[in-house]
Amino acid sequence: MANIKRLPFSRLPKAVTPIHYALEIKPNLKTFKFNGRVVVDTKVTQETDEILINSADIEILRASFNDVQSCDISYREKDETVLLKYPHKFAKGDGKLMIDYVGTLNDKMKGFYRTKFTATDGSERYAAVTQFESTDARRALPCWDEPAVKATFDVTMIVPKDKVALSNMNVESEEPLQEGQTTLALDHETENIADLKVVKYATTPIMSTYLLAFVVGDFEYVEARSADGVLVRVYAPIGKKEQGKFALDVAVKTLPFYKSYFNIPYPLPKIDLIAIADFAAGAMENWGLVTYRETALLIDPVNSSSSNKQWVAIVVGHELAHQWFGNLVTMEWWTHLWLNEGFASWIEYLCVDHCFPEWDIWTQFVVMDLARALELDSLNNSHPIEVPVGHPAEVDEIFDAISYQKGASVIAMLHDFLGDDGFRTGLNHYLEKFKYSNTQTEDLWDSLELACNKPVKKIMSTWTQQMGYPVVTVSAKHSGESSTLEMSQSKFCANGELEPSYQGYEWLIPMVIASESNVNEPTKIILDEKSKSITLNNVKQDDWIKINFGQFGFYRVRYTSDMLHKLVPAVAKKVLKPRDRLGLQNDTFALTKAGLLGTTDYLDLLQAYSKEDNYTVWSDIISNFGSIMTLMEYADLADGFKAVGIELLSDIVKELGWDAKADEKHTDGLLRTLAIYSLGRFGHAETITEAKARFAAHLDGSRSIDPDLRSSIYKIVISEGDEATFDSFLTLINTTDLQEEKMRIMVSLAAARRESMIARGLDFAMSDKVRSQDKVFILEGIARSSKIGRQLTWNFLKERWDVLHEIYQGGFLLSRLLKGSLSQFAGEEFSADIREFFASKNVPAAERTIEQVIENIQLNTKWLARDSSSVRSWLSNKNYISSE
């Protein structure tokens, strides 16, 4: 288990606290500087002659308190604070702090930063935008930058007259700048008073600093009003506003849905959603002004794929949920981040299911959230949902699959246990009681417990306060018309070994159990002991019994071979619903990886899925099957797996064809894309030939590739191509201004197999042709593509480490890069090399990630040694490889 080093940290003193900020700020899009004045109404609760607040990358020109100038300004750069000293102590009561300062519009995608895009006329344009979560408001204004220190804000911006200027609230006034109207100095070489305007915004509700936002640039919008009268606008760079219509439609449907679900109206008069060219995260829920990367907001009706349309809907649903859960009620400290992110990551699916019930989104939840969280949380280097964090450099490490996906998964389990009516009543109580204030996890449990009269806190503390989750081992003994189940729980460990320190781990597990004869009346219990017996009545001798029926529980199930054998026909005949078919396969894969089952057991189970037709089930099978194939590449067995994969998937493409049918389901299109790409990856000759033909027609303009197939075809073609093919992709990138399409093409370059092309892909990723936010996806894509790609990427990362660290400043994108690029190695030499390299590097936000990477490599190494021989025999016996 990782021994994560903690940096010294203490929260700000409470002798002086803010009540209201009046901020005046003037960004200069030519010099990339900004001037600011912030006047803060404060409450002095104890006599003091000093004020400690957060500030980073800002130069304070002067700082007065009650008109008394500071006698000393001391920057504490490591702590990101500044100490303002005064010549005498101030008495208790009201106080006014006024600070004049200057700062830089940085290029690090945090704080108040600059972003660049190319307009439709070919000119380069700059915008200034904010990204303050978690601890970067201090880079735009000196402030009390902690989530529990809430205040109201008046924002005034001085900007060029021809620019759009947005903030959290609606505009109260907009007028030309007059002589003497501001104390902020003009840069007379680049600014003329006649070209500037003053924009004042309405006062915000009381809120945390990380939710403050402002944007200045060249944007246009589409707008509509929700059913409850809220003005909704989607802003895009000039020339792209029509691409905002899909997100606008989703937002207009979503706001009334949340108002109804929470039984609380959206509290602001407007909400803006804006696409930003350079943006590190997917989106940010600033109250009333939600910022997005372009691919998470903009949809081209002709050139966007179904999967990206789905992604936009999910992200819009997620960020708008935060307007209540996170903004109206905010976690008290980052330890409780999961309250924001876990909840929004759950309810986004509820929202999308409301807007698009035909998308089967709750089945996809099992793969996109539940399975991802289960995988990470089985590691010894995972962490509890509630994890103490302090220093700003450490906060980024908890923006991970535990806070988001595990948080969402345990909320889903709780919702299923409590029922929707009681759950909603409890949520309303929680939001009403704590609106405009801050909470801890226990506050939510108290409200739900009050509404449902169930031991919520007792149950849920076992899920949020301890790391990991249980595996339930079950056996069945049949007698007459009943079956007695013997169940026991223990912590599930990715290596299959229960360390002594985990012996005491125990969970209160809400369980749903169904048998073949009682599918419509499943049994619900709480497994509240280490082991327990229960009897199911009206069960036939040959009935299958499914534990975690519906697949909402956050745990694994280990059946006896007899129980598993009875479930196989229910999978093959699709008697079990997709979620349960998926869950059975996913649990079996996890048990295989842990060494509790053999890899050949998992491969045998896949035969039951030969007639599978559900996209989400297949997406998980292909992901897990691909993981084994990647591992077995280190035993030179990849060709055998490709043969298995072709056999598994050929019938799907024959059934679905290459072209969309008029009446097909949304998920049929997703399955077609997945199956075609996989067959191409497995070397299926017919698929490769067809992909090349379609790409050639696309390139010469005779027939455009369906957007749903572009990613698959691009990757197949580049993997089979040469240097000329690579050049054609580089040309193709320059023919589109749709960021989604640019990303499709750029990420496809990662599929190249020739060593010279891989090297070109690595260099391209680091070129100025690729935005900082996107470099990660190309680099990790190359590492995931092949054994040689992985090694070349690791060599490249070591060579360019200082550059990468400077670009990402130790943020979450750096952690993503490391995890995505390195986790698939197998061999002790790789884990040793990685540990040695990072021993001398200072990366506090990625320490846990590095330990997780090394642990994964060690797991892969053991798995390969344990099973490669039996897998070779299995492939040989079934004639997928020669017996030589």
What residues are annotated to the active site? 319
**Rounded to an integer, what distance in angstroms lies between the CA atom of residue 424 and that of residue 445?**
13
Q: Is the peptide bond before 134 cis (omega within 30 degrees of 0)?
A: yes
C-alpha separations of 611 from 74, 606, 647, 719, 758 in Å: 69, 10, 12, 29, 37
**Rounded to an integer, what distance in angstroms lies between the CA atom of residue 621 and that of residue 618?**
5
**Rounded to an integer, what distance in angstroms lies between the CA atom of residue 419 and that of residue 450?**
14
H and E: helices and strands count for the chain = 27, 29
C-alpha separations of 762 from 734, 758, 799, 826 in Å: 19, 6, 12, 22
207 torsion bin: left (phi>0), alpha (psi -120 to 50), beta (else): beta
**Rounded to an integer, what distance in angstroms lies between the CA atom of residue 287 and that of residue 289?**
6
Q: Which distant-in-sequence residues (6+ apart) come within 8 Å of 724 by Cβ? A: none
Beta strands 289-293 and 270-276, pairing class: parallel
Alpha-helical (H) ranges within 633-733 are 638-656, 666-681, 685-700, 707-720, 723-733
Determine what percent of the chain falls in helix, strand and coil, rounding each to the nearest 5.
45, 25, 30
**Rounded to an integer, what distance in angstroms lies between the CA atom of residue 568 and that of residue 609?**
9
CA 21 to chain centroid, in Å, comes to 32
**Rounded to an integer, what distance in angstroms lies between the CA atom of residue 321 and that of residue 317?**
6
Using alpha carbons only, give the angle 51, 52, 58 rounded to the nearest 5 degrees: 110
**Rounded to an integer, what distance in angstroms lies between the CA atom of residue 84 and that of residue 868?**
64
Q: Which distant-in-sequence residues (6+ apart) come within 8 Å of 168 by Cβ? A: 153, 155, 201, 204, 207, 211, 212, 213, 214, 268, 286, 287, 288, 289
Whether residue 599 contacts residue 641, with contact meaning beta carbons closer than 8 Å, is answered with no
Element housing 129 (H / E): strand 124-131
Contacts 24+ apart (CB under 8 A), 797-801: 797/821, 798/837, 800/766, 801/837, 801/841
**Rounded to an integer, what distance in angstroms lies between the CA atom of residue 275 and that of residue 295?**
8
**Rounded to an integer, what distance in angstroms lies between the CA atom of residue 512 and that of residue 523?**
6
Decide: helix, strand or coil at residue 347. Answer: helix
b/e for 501-535, b at 16 or more Cβ within 10 A? ebeebbbbbbbbbbbbbbeeeebeebbbeeebeee
Residue 203 DSSP one-character state: P
Element housing 434 (H / E): helix 420-434
